[in-house]
Structure 1
Amino acid sequence: MKRVSFLFMLILLIGGLFACSNSQSTSTNTTEEKKEESSSEPIVIKFSHVTAPDSPKGKAADLFKQLVEERTKGRVKVEVYPSSQLFDDDKAIQELPRNTVQLIAPSTTKLVSYDPAFQIVDMPFLFTSDKAVYKFWDGEGGQILSKKLEKYNIKVLAMWANGDKHFTNSKRPLKKPADFKGLKFRTQTGKVLDEQFAALGASAVPMGFSEVYVALQQGTVDGQENTFNNIDTQGYAEVQKYLTVSGHGRLDYLLLTNTKFWDSLPEDVRKTLEEVIVEVTEQQRKWSEELNKASYEKLKASGMEVYELTKEDIEEFQKAMQPVYEKFADSIGQDLIELAKKANE
């Protein structure tokens, strides 16, 4: 009987140990499965911008989403929020360092609050072509400006194009600096723009983009400065008689991310994103150029009186703008201005 009891107890003990081992194994497997499930969750990138989906910036954002999701095989999910659905530019710039959003593409001039050097895009008659602008931003000039944002946890990934600015007005053809005297022009907010029009004897009236058409229609301002595409799509030809093809300033975007977020990405994922950004940037710039060319043709056919500044005209304007350069060379940086001029060569 003792032998039978001993064998029975031994069987119970072995059974208990096996059950405990099996329970621990199941628990370990469940934990590992959870870890694996957690690590397989996609990295989410929220991309906020303010333009329509069919704009060059909107199309580029959608192309970025498509290529990233394809090439990372679902490891990265990109959520695109166009037309200020998530934030406007000002709010987006505030939220980016907090990682509320991971990608934004605001107007370059929106970054002046971080450093006055970003006013370089408003310096009149500085860049002579799209190619010169790309050369500046893709080279040393862009590197210098990008470093100015590092301490704010903001990283510049690329410059996306919008285009040259040109003058329109309702009063008279603008061919010489003297033709601007006494006119009022709507502008974005900016000290350089104030001084630009002051040098021409005109007035700058800062105003929101959505208010411009009515202000031109009612004569609150006489003219404005913008890209061909904006002039076209906003219907300014209906309320402006004269267009001067000047290319005197730039309206472009910077593709920005949160530095800590970017550095936290797996190296292979970050490499894929960098490759996609190069590809998308090239396409975005082509779309921008094509759109502006198409809009220019529409404007010429709209009945507007169009005047293209000659090389001699531009030289006269550059002389008139010399006080602007003297006033802002120090705050922007003479080194940056010289790099911009060199990019024109």
Structure 2
Amino acid sequence: MRRTMLGLAVAVSAVLTALPAMAQVQERTIRWGHLNNTDHPVSLGVQKFAEVLAAKSGGKLKVREFPASQLGNEMQQQSAVRGGTQEVFSASTTSLAGVVKDLGLFDFPFIVASFDQATALADGAFGRAMMELLPEKDLIPLGYWGLGFRNVTNSRGPVAKVEDLAGLKLRVIPNPVYLETFKAFKANPVPMAFGELYTALENKTVDGQENPYSVILSNKFYEVQKYVSATNHTFTQNIIIVSKKFWDKLSPEEQKMFRDTYAETLQYQRDQTRRAADQALAELQAKGMQFNDIAPAEYARMQEAVKPVIDKFSAEYDPEKVKLFNAELARLRSTVK
């Protein structure tokens, strides 16, 4: 009997302890937008985040997902989050470089050679320093999700060496580093919003594009592209950004729930990204795309071709951030495979 009473007392005490914290949690609907379809690792990450956040908040904090650019293109959603009319956005570091220029360092070609190196760069001192710059731009970063390595597809022929890129009209993210990188390959880069890409490929407005395998599969680019080549030229990171105007309305307990949920679901999302890369490539081949790898010697030639791009843009960023970036690259290249 005493054991039963003691157990009941402990349970009641736990409930009473939790009540003040839960009293700080209000009913809220969080609009979370992104560019990808619902079968993509980003969407799977949002769905898992929503599930965990709802459980932590007793169902009060509800994430409503808006996939596939439903809330606008990347720049429109970024602006909406900064303005407070959208709560959360999975933003690429590429687009956020327009807000915090030094984030463009993530887009330098061939800086990392593996998922583990890309993760170490985002989670290390450089990645943290970049996130610290966002609150003054009305954005609260929760952390990084991986999108994966970007690879070239096109409708004209396989890309096995740098010369094969010459003359190809390729859609790229509207970002100076991407534009200059493909100009160094003698391609004709065309900046274009992602939502316009499928039609442009279908109409042959552009010959090809570059994206992670999972994006290529999810958006059915295999229907309008024949060749996919393992260029692995950059690794794209997402930053989960929350509107500061929304964040400042949250109680400390609600803010903690957001941060704890990110931490608890991070590995799940990254695992989905890794798994999707392998599965997507196999599916693309099964759907008729011709895949070709690139020989190490030819890959080295591609790396050599873009060194002037890295030198040029390094001179345009904050010297201290470039120093930290290069130090982090040196560290992870010697410690992470």
**TM-score under structure 1 length normalisation:** 0.80
**Distance in 1 between the 2:36 and 2:186 partners?**
33
Q: Aligned residues: percent identity?
A: 27
Pairing 1:124–2:109 present: yes
> 2:129 pairs with 140, 144, 148, which one?
144
> 2:58 pairs with 50, 73, 84, which one?
73
> 1:310 pairs with 273, 280, 295, which one?
295
Aligned match of 2:328? 339
- Tell me by how many angstroms 1:150 deviates: 2.4
The Cα RMSD (Å) is 2.4
Question: Which runs of no fewer than 5 residues in structure 2 stay unpaired?
Answer: 1-22
Pairing 1:227–2:212 present: yes
- Tell me by how many angstroms 1:136 deviates: 1.0
SS of the residue aligned with 1:306? strand
Equivalent pair of 1:127/1:341 in contact (CA under 8 Å): no
Higher-Rg structure is 1
Aligned match of 1:19? none
- Tell me by how many angstroms 1:284 deviates: 1.0
**Equivalent residues in 2 for 1:1-345, closer than 5 Å:** 41-259=26-244, 261-262=246-247, 265-332=250-317, 333-335=321-323, 336-345=325-334
- Tell me by how many angstroms 1:212 deviates: 2.7
- Tell me by how many angstroms 1:341 deviates: 4.8
Equivalent pair of 2:95/2:175 in contact (CA under 8 Å): no
Amino acid at match of 1:173: P
**TM-score under structure 2 length normalisation:** 0.82
Equivalent pair of 1:129/1:344 in contact (CA under 8 Å): no
- Tell me by how many angstroms 1:128 deviates: 0.9
**Distance in 2 between the 1:261 and 1:200 partners?**
43
Question: Which runs of no fewer than 5 residues in structure 1 stay unpaired?
Answer: 1-37
Amino acid at match of 2:288: G
**Distance in 1 between the 2:224 and 2:67 partners?**
28
- Tell me by how many angstroms 1:311 deviates: 3.0
